[in-house]
Amino acid sequence: MRLRVHMVVGFCIAVAVSLEMNELAALALFNGFISSWLNYVVDRFGHRGPRRVPFMHSVLGVTLLCLALGIATYIASSSTRLALEVFVPVYAGALSHILLDSFTSAGVYPLYPFSKRKLSLARVRYDSSVANAVAVVLALLLVMVIALAKMGLLR
């Protein structure tokens, strides 16, 4: 998928998870921006030309990146709760990068370096306008539904 799609979907997933954790809207938005930035980092350091670097597109790579952020949050705040309130949503948003790329024809290596087996759930081109639009629309709908439910407007 395109970088901007990874960033939007990561933002939406982090905001949705934050709202589900009953976090304040400001923290939910902060988590969304951090997740969006992490998706940028995964994309920029996760490619050598057109090829993906398996480690940065693996669960272990994303986990280590997010753990570093969680530890930094804990050190800065001395609050385990705040560190978890940042780590969990941002981690979910960052994992969305692997999920989205697993739908492309290039696939991902989710268990790298423990397994060199590639996962490709579909054969969608990364630059497919339709696939990218569907991903963004679904992510935006997710946030809207959760926000409306939290406001009591959905029954």
Q: Tell me: the pLDDT tens digits for 9-29?
A: 999 999 999 999 999 999 999
Contact 102/119 with Cβ under 8 angstroms? yes
- Average pLDDT for residues 72-96, to the nearest whole number? 97
Picking from 15-24, 41-50, 93-102, which range would have the lowest pLDDT averaged per residue?
Answer: 41-50
For residues 78 and 41, is the Cβ–Cβ distance under 8 A? no
What are the pLDDT digits (tens) for 116-152?
999 999 999 999 999 999 999 999 999 999 999 999 9
Distances (CA, A) of 71 to 65, 87, 123, 152: 10, 9, 37, 35
- How much is the pLDDT for 154? 84
11 lies in some domain: yes
User: Phi, psi (5° rounding) for residue 124?
Assistant: -90, 135
**CA–CA distance, 52 with 60 (Å, rounded to integer):** 15
DSSP helix/strand/coil, 104: strand
In a domain, 143, yes or no: yes
In a domain? residue 67? yes
pLDDT at 19: 97
The reply to whether 155 falls in a domain is no
Query: Is residue 39 domain-resident?
Result: yes
Within a domain: 41 = yes
- Decide if 37 is inside a domain: yes
Range of the domain at 144: 3-150
- pLDDT tier, 107 (very low <50, low <70, confident <90, very high otherwise): very high
Looking at the structure of the chain, the number of domains it has is 1
pLDDT band at residue 94 using 50, 70 and 90 as cut-offs: very high
pLDDT at 155 exceeding the cut of 90 = no
Task: Give all strands (DSSP E) within the chain, no chain letters.
Answer: 47-48, 51-52
- Say which DSSP state 47 is in: E
Indicate the SS3 state at residue 48.
Answer: strand
- The amino acid present at 63, given as its one-letter code, is T
Q: Which pLDDT value is given to residue 52?
A: 86
Dihedral pair phi/psi, residue 26, rounded to 5°: -65, -40
Query: pTM for the complete prediction?
Result: 0.94
